[in-house]
Amino acid sequence: MNWLIDFFGDPVNWSGPDGIPARLLEHLEFAGLSLLLAMLIALPLGLLIGHTGRGALLVVSIANAARALPTLGLLVLIVLLMGVGTILPVLIPLVALAVPPILVNTYEGIRGVDPDLRDAAYGMGLRGRQVLGRVLVPVALPLILLGLRLAAIQVVATATVAAYVGLGGLGRFIIDGLATKNFPSTIGGAVLVALLALLVQLGFTLVQRATVSPGVSERQTIR
């Protein structure tokens, strides 16, 4: 507890390019851009495959391949090949980490919709895209949001690896603290990452409550 007081109570840690606000913004930049890119890749692909039923093997293959990638090893390799002039070396492994949960949950959510709902939608004269947008996505939304939440939490926690190759983010407090035996900095950085992950969890919970229909939520609970 004294170490936390030392870390958060030190005014030096709250100002300048190495302060908590600056490092937090860097961390959010890494995590936010990575999640956005992963969504742009995984959401359309998951919706397409889930709706058409084609390419399920591709989903499994991509998910398994991406999960098997060592994030830190991939980061170091990319840095060796590209250098650290941009944040691209950090984005690539983080995107690879975030794609599988979004892709798999989106695919499973769409494929798991009751076939009777699909048939009823087609019977009402809706076309493919209309069925997907008006029926399948709203029903599958809880599972889709779960995939986004899992990806976001993983990315927020793993973005600390950026510090291993000299980049910024909250991982700097952890890595630099370990290197200099500054344990208040190490513990303080770990607490900040944990708190950020909890805030992400809370944020997605609020989004789900605001966007998911109560009827869909009750249906998910019954299942």
List the chain domain ranges. Answer: 2-222
Burial 161-175 (b: 16+ CB within 10 A, else e): bbbebebbbbbbbbb
- The pLDDT assigned to 221 comes to 41
- The pLDDT assigned to 85 comes to 66
- The pLDDT assigned to 222 comes to 39
Over 146-197, what HEC string results?
HHHHHHHHHHHHHHHHHHHHCCCCCHHHHHHHHHHCCHHHHHHHHHHHHHHH
- The pLDDT assigned to 133 comes to 82
Judge contact between 47 and 53, C-beta under 8 A.
no
- The pLDDT assigned to 52 comes to 85
Judge contact between 75 and 99, C-beta under 8 A.
no
Which pLDDT tens digits describe the chain residue by residue (223 residues)? 687 888 888 888 898 888 999 999 999 999 999 999 999 999 999 998 888 878 777 777 777 777 777 776 777 777 777 666 678 888 888 998 899 899 999 999 998 888 888 778 777 877 778 888 888 888 899 999 999 999 999 999 999 888 887 888 999 999 999 988 888 999 999 999 999 999 999 999 999 888 887 766 545 543 4
The single residue listed with the structure tokens 């944990």 is 194
Return the DSSP state at 61.
Answer: H
The class level of CATH for 2-222 reads mainly alpha
Residues 6+ apart with CB under 8 A from 140: 50, 106, 109, 110, 112, 113
Judge contact between 191 and 160, C-beta under 8 A.
no
172/186 Cα distance (integer angstroms): 9
Give the distance from CA 75 to its chain's centroid: 17
